[in-house]
Amino acid sequence: GAVVSQHPSRVICKSGTSVKIECRSLDFQATTMFWYRQFPKKSLMLMATSNEGSKATYEQGVEKDKFLINHASLTLSTLTVTSAHPEDSSFYICSARRVIREGELYTGELFFGEGSRLTVL
């Protein structure tokens, strides 16, 4: 199946620093990627939709100046947590959408990265 790579898998940083997480689709092009945040034993909260070549669409309540998203190419989206604080500590997961054309029908499937655990001290 398709592979989505997320890096780093773990990162520990000091409060006030910025952290960048990368999400790459390794064997397909993804015009759309999604960023999720997951709290311990909790569901995934959709943070934003990353669109190649345009601005990301943020979900209600997500600070776009805090969580900067850049989708500079068809295979890479980055999430930067700016001026990180302990409450930003979480498991961040990305997913990439692969669109498949079957005749006249377009279908799609999401592939998820392995997640990045951020710990802010």
Question: Which one among 42, 55, 64, 85 touches other proteins, defined by CB under 8 A?
Answer: 42
| Window of 13-21, 35-43, 67-75, 82-90 that interacts with other proteins by CB under 8 A | 35-43
Question: Which one among 11, 44, 62, 68 touches other proteins, defined by CB under 8 A?
Answer: 44
Question: Which one among 28, 49, 58, 62 touches other proteins, defined by CB under 8 A?
Answer: 49
CA 87, CA 49: separation in Å to the nearest integer? 22
Q: Quick one: 75 or 111, whose CB is closer to other proteins? A: 111
Contacts by 63-68, CB closer than 8 A, 24 or more apart: 67/35
Q: For residue 47, give Cα distances in angstroms to 59, 83, 93.
A: 5, 17, 10
Q: For residue 64, give Cα distances in angstroms to 56, 58, 67, 76.
A: 9, 7, 5, 19
Residue 11 touching other proteins (CB under 8 A): no
Binding region for other proteins (CB under 8 A): 1, 4, 6, 32, 34, 41-44, 46, 49, 51, 57, 91, 93, 95, 97, 99-101, 105-115, 117
